[in-house]
Chain A
Amino acid sequence: DAGITQSPRHKVTETGTPVTLRCHQTENHRYMYWYRQDPGHGLRLIHYSYGVKDTDKGEVSDGYSVSRSKTEDFLLTLESATSSQTSVYFCAISGTNSNQPQHFGDGTRLSIL
């Protein structure tokens, strides 16, 4: 299994509070991604990174920010959580070789009350 660790695995918080999710990889892969999974929507890309300090927006980036100060860590921050951000969040990594698949962490279940 790809070495991807997401933390925390579960979190319950209140509307308006800041939340940070962490993704840690031991594969030294260049690319890292944050997705959210919601019923009827599948997996939607929030942000991704193509190197240290290099990030870009995905299709549902509003209300989220990311940072990547080290190759192995990719942080997702909800500056002021809203109930619409209740979801399961997945981190994924992929390498630079041609036609290399993404590999996923086990997810973080986030509930915002």
Chain B
Amino acid sequence: DQQVKQNSPSLSVQEGRISILNCDYTNSMFDYFLWYKKYPAEGPTFLISISSIKDKNEDGRFTVFLNKSAKHLSLHIVPSQPGDSAVYFCAARLNTGNQFYFGTGTSLTVIP
């Protein structure tokens, strides 16, 4: 059973606009959440993370929001750029060890 879910397989956004990628999880024992970006034929690259004790973390154009009561995570990219076109994975870590669980990914296309 998928513990981390990304329900939107794809998303298209105009350059300069905001991209919002969503992620839901089911396990309340996750304590650390991450977003990765993946280009074809490359490994996932760490983008941004957030601890369960926070509700927002910002790094440049990227902001991650965590709503623990809803078990929902989102990534905001503002402004979106064509180079942001990639597959984005959200991930969550169990607080009982160092195991990470990944969503199925959302393919973002930023249209110039």
Q: List A residues at the B interface (Cβ < 8 Å).
A: 4, 31, 33, 35, 40-45, 48, 50, 58, 90, 92, 94, 99, 101-107
B62 within 8 A of A: no
B19 within 8 A of A: no
Contact of A104 with B100 in the complex, beta carbons under 8 Å: no
**Within the assembled complex, what's the spacing in Å between the Cα atoms of A58 and B99?**
8
By a CB distance below 8 angstroms, the chain B residues around A106 are: 41-43
Q: List B residues at the A interface (Cβ < 8 Å).
A: 6, 32, 34, 36, 41-46, 49, 51, 89, 91, 97-105
Choose from B34, B44, B98 the contact partner of A50 (Cβ within 8 Å): B98
**Within the assembled complex, what's the spacing in Å between the Cα atoms of A41 and B34?**
17
Contact of A102 with B104 in the complex, beta carbons under 8 Å: no
Q: Which of B42, B44, B91 has the largest count of A CB atoms less than 10 A from its CB?
A: B44
By a CB distance below 8 angstroms, the chain A residues around B45 are: 104
Contact of B99 with A99 in the complex, beta carbons under 8 Å: no
By a CB distance below 8 angstroms, the chain B residues around A42 are: 6, 89, 102-105
Closest approach, in angstroms, between the C-beta of B4 and any C-beta of chain A?
Answer: 8
List 7 tightest A-B contacts by C-beta distance, closest first. Answer: A104-B43, A42-B104, A43-B102, A101-B46, A42-B102, A106-B43, A104-B44
In the complex, number of A-B residue pairs with CB atoms less than 8 Å apart: 52
By a CB distance below 8 angstroms, the chain B residues around A35 are: 102
By a CB distance below 8 angstroms, the chain B residues around A33 are: 100
**Within the assembled complex, what's the spacing in Å between the Cα atoms of A106 and B101?**
19
Q: Contacts A103-B46, A106-B42, A107-B43 given: A40-B98 contact, CB under 8 Å?
A: no
By a CB distance below 8 angstroms, the chain A residues around B44 are: 43, 90, 104
By a CB distance below 8 angstroms, the chain A residues around B36 are: 104
Contact of A45 with B98 in the complex, beta carbons under 8 Å: no
Contact of A44 with B43 in the complex, beta carbons under 8 Å: no
15 chain-A/chain-B pairs, Cβ below 8 angstroms: A4-B43, A35-B102, A42-B6, A42-B89, A42-B102, A42-B103, A43-B102, A101-B46, A102-B34, A102-B91, A104-B43, A104-B44, A105-B43, A106-B43, A107-B42
